[in-house]
Structure 1
């Protein structure tokens, strides 16, 4: 985006929200739906599940599902899954195993929830735990096997260690155990390639790891699908993420992709070779003091993203251009100082636009987001938090 386009975009957002008290969150609707269209283009005809943890705004989730190329939700909590189904959202794939007795009780109490929600498991211990919570003889629960998609080189695993199931043999053995067990209906397998989808192309070494991992998964996914299919008819073969749609979507073994962060495009998704980041989600803070001519202290802003604690988990000031956090203080619980030549033109009460490092985590800080249209109209809509929902 050119400097002129940036200037016009931020001016539109700030003009539309000028009467709001800071801090507040704002979504550029034009960029949001352009990002959605770009995800569909990159998926090349493979349907995309919306990763709800990367959005956490129900109306944006349903608005995305209404667009061509998207189908279903990948949730992060069983309580969230139940709530979404009760509010009319269909086809929920829970991305993580659950340990919640209350959410499981609520799931099996309703036929529609049972039909629309698929629960993730990665071991017979997962099944044992569900049986202990619900008692044997519970209604059949749709389940999906989480397969470890990390790249294994000798004893090393490059990627996220999600599941004890890595090989086709392990997947086949677990599938056989699930099918032999009352109360569970095996319908899917999932592979999340974090070392491809969640890793920017920051060096030649990273690109090599991603290429090697993609080649490994192209073979291993097919082997896993074949092994599991010996025991069950698979409705779901899910894989990929915002950063790997082109690569993962080329695998004929999969039936669907998942993406969510690409809708908001937070700072952790800058620096990919396959696509250009188009920021759509921001929060706005006010200058509360000026301790020096080139330093402006903002009220609030300590919204640190999850993951390993380092600079790329901090929120980034993006407007006015030329500001950066002070390394010895960073983003603070109550105040966040920024410095740079641009700070010289800032006065107390002026506003600074920030980007979060992750997507949906920003929405845990706000009861609502303001959607600003291309024409400058503004609509306030609740986040999960604003609807009184906190799913952890």
Structure 2
């Protein structure tokens, strides 16, 4: 799969996708290579010259990660667990673990392998992380690379209102500098990076239906302005303690805003490659859906209903209808409110139900990106009207990291 290839004009994918997969038995998952390629180029354009670190959590298919990293403008991996990072670092030289780890066996392996230690950076946000890691890795061996995570949420009303993901307790430049000094005090640790993920901007669409989108836009505008100033001060404070190799920020939904901050040296993205339903509601960018899963109609319990086998591929996050998968082909179908998407069966209603017979297929989109890979062993890569490759997911390679 060549993501660097020139992208074409907008297209209607359904004739090609249907023709390429008509011989397959559901359930199966599909990646539309043309859409994937378009999305990759769009991400690079939005990053405006800042390198994009590929977020593996949002893909979980090694071949897709590998192909993305061959595209000029993408460099390095943002992993989500240390065992995953050790696996990926067997072939990639720059892997940052985006979340703190307490996996002792993985830490011991990292600490005993000079090459892996040079390729992997751990995330910390508290002195306790440092102390527990030091206890496991011991005083002798190659240096352990450390990245600090800065809390980049928006706090209002004296901190009583918190808008953003609850990740790090390190919020102020003073907090960051204090933790940086504690990293520097450990003889085996090497402070190389600072990271902050502004989920209140990157992960919330500013064009949702209804009046709430205006409140979201106002919040994001205020948050971006506050964060640019605070992050720059935090970077300066940490650089007074150590020479940083990178300052990572953002996500798919905030690339152009984060990349515009002079203090940021790289941005992170992954979901934007697959463009799940979560990214249908942004004014700043419009990716093409690239990932689907396909189920069979196995029942017609009434003239108003068609039931597919399976479907309960629910996205993580606060429970709600926006976590459910969405039927997208044939058009005009929807879930039944009282049943939603079931583990073994999902009834559908809508104007096109009459067109569905037992054995027909229904195509769905997942709300999120990488979580789709936890439900299938392989992805069908479709380019034009043919399957050009069949590639294993993490699950297909026998890997389950969370």
TMscore range, shorter length: over 0.9
CA contact 2:53–2:78 (8 Å) conserved in 1? yes
Deviations, residues 101-132 of structure 1 (Å, cap 9, x unaligned): 11111112211111110000001100111122
SS in 2 for 1:90: coil
Gaps of 5+ in 1: none
CA contact 1:47–1:257 (8 Å) conserved in 2? yes
Deviation of 1:293 (Å):
1.7
SS in 2 for 1:157: strand
Distance 1:316 1:377 in 2: 23
Is 1:148 the counterpart of 2:151 in the alignment?
A: yes
Distance 1:63 1:228 in 2: 34
CA contact 1:137–1:182 (8 Å) conserved in 2? no
Is 1:316 the counterpart of 2:326 in the alignment?
A: yes
CA contact 2:305–2:347 (8 Å) conserved in 1? yes
* Ranges of 4+ aligned residues in structure 1 off by more than 4 Å: none
Is 1:83 the counterpart of 2:93 in the alignment?
A: no
Is 1:126 the counterpart of 2:129 in the alignment?
A: yes
SS in 2 for 1:243: helix
**For 1:44, which of 45, 48, 51 is the aligned residue?**
48
Deviations, residues 63-102 of structure 1 (Å, cap 9, x unaligned): 000001100000001001000111x112001100001011
Map 1:284-323 onto structure 2 (within 5 A): 284-323=294-333
Deviations, residues 158-201 of structure 1 (Å, cap 9, x unaligned): 10110010000000000011101121100010010000000001
Partner of 1:94: 97
Deviation of 1:375 (Å):
4.4
Is 1:378 the counterpart of 2:384 in the alignment?
A: no
Partner of 1:215: 225
Structure-2-length-normalised TM-score: 0.94
Distance 1:113 1:330 in 2: 45
Between the two proteins, the alignment pairs up a number of residues equal to 386
Question: Which stretch of structure 1 is more off in the superposition, 161-170 or 101-110?
Answer: 101-110
**For 1:62, which of 49, 63, 66 is the aligned residue?**
66
Is 1:115 the counterpart of 2:109 in the alignment?
A: no
CA contact 1:317–1:353 (8 Å) conserved in 2? yes
Distance 1:362 1:47 in 2: 26
Gaps of 5+ in 2: 1-9
CA contact 2:308–2:347 (8 Å) conserved in 1? yes
Partner of 1:195: 200
Is 1:387 the counterpart of 2:397 in the alignment?
A: yes
Deviations, residues 241-279 of structure 1 (Å, cap 9, x unaligned): 000011111001011000000000001111100011310
Partner of 1:271: 281
